[in-house]
Structure 1
Amino acid sequence: MTQPPQPGTNPYAQSGPNGQPGPYGQQPPQGQQPQQWAAAPPAPPTRRGGMGVLKILKIIGAVAVLIAVGVGYFLSQDDADHAKAGDCLKNNGTQISPDLQVVECGGATAEYKVVQVHQDTLDTAKCENVSDIGYQEQTSGGRRSSGKKFVLCIDKIKK
């Protein structure tokens, strides 16, 4: 059986070194200050002027889109709709569905030479008695343009 606590003593008090009473409700040992509790937890560190991950990803995405647009623009510069008289062409498609591309005239891939270009028409009769072939093309436009239509009068390069 346990003994009841003696009057005037705290049964929950912790004893410090050398059996002296601890800081909970008792006097601290000599030379030590009583422990004090803070009123509120410390504030979280404030965010400094660094860039966030989301902001960095947005910048990378914008740069990637600009690069894709630039590459698309430069790749389309050698299409038939940019051909001028004197340019040479290569057919990357078939006879039924041609895909003409501007190439160097001295190169081995050159198949045709542009004799004349007629803008804003699809009338290949303009090439009669001028060239071997009349090639017509109409590009589809976006919301703001109706597209581009033209006729190339071309001669087959004899090798």
Structure 2
Amino acid sequence: MLAIGLGVLALAVWASRDQANLAKVGNCLTNKGTAASPDLVIVDCEATPAEFRVLKVVPDTSATSACNGVAGMKQVYAYQSKAKQVVLCLGPAK
């Protein structure tokens, strides 16, 4: 998968090991992996490890351009497995 940055860091993953495919608007996430191999986990927004808040969820695509114009967006995460594609538009957790 190729994730194209929109002037922000674009994260991408093929495996289904993380919880990105379960994230909903308002959820907070932390990356237990690296920028090159992310492993996003849903966490309590008040918890210390919360890094990102989901601002928008765009199902059935891996096009990071789906986050263009989302207010407060700092990063884009494109998730793709054999069964599902989703793009998360992420802002700061706090």
> If the length of structure 2 is used for normalisation, what is the TM-score?
0.74
1:136 maps to which of 67, 78, 82 = 78
The DSSP-based 3-state class of the residue aligned with 1:115 is strand
Measured against aligned partners, the alpha-carbon deviations of 1:98-151 in whole angstroms (never above 9, x if no partner) come to 1101000011110000000000001111112211111101113xxxxxx10000
Structure of greater relative contact order (alpha carbons < 8 Å, 6+ residues apart): 2
What letter is aligned with 1:100? L
Aligned counterparts, 1:8-157, within 5 A: 79-130=19-70, 131-140=73-82, 147-157=83-93
Give every structure 1 segment of 4 or more consecutive aligned residues whose post-TM-superposition deviation is greater than 6 Å: none
Structure 1: gaps (5+ residues): 1-75, 141-146
* Bigger strand fraction: 2
Report the aligned-residue RMSD: 1.6
2:64 maps to amino acid? T
1:119 counterpart letter in structure 2: P
Partner residue in 2 for 1:53: none
Check conservation: 2:45, 2:93, Cα contact below 8 A.
no
- 1:156: Cα distance to partner? 2.6
Q: What TM-score results when the alignment is normalised by the length of structure 1?
A: 0.45
Q: Is the 8 A contact 2:31 2:40 kept in 1?
A: yes
CA contact (8 A) 1:127 1:133 kept: no
Residues in 2 aligned to 1:123 and 1:138: alpha-carbon distance in whole angstroms? 11
- The percent identity for this pair of structures is 42
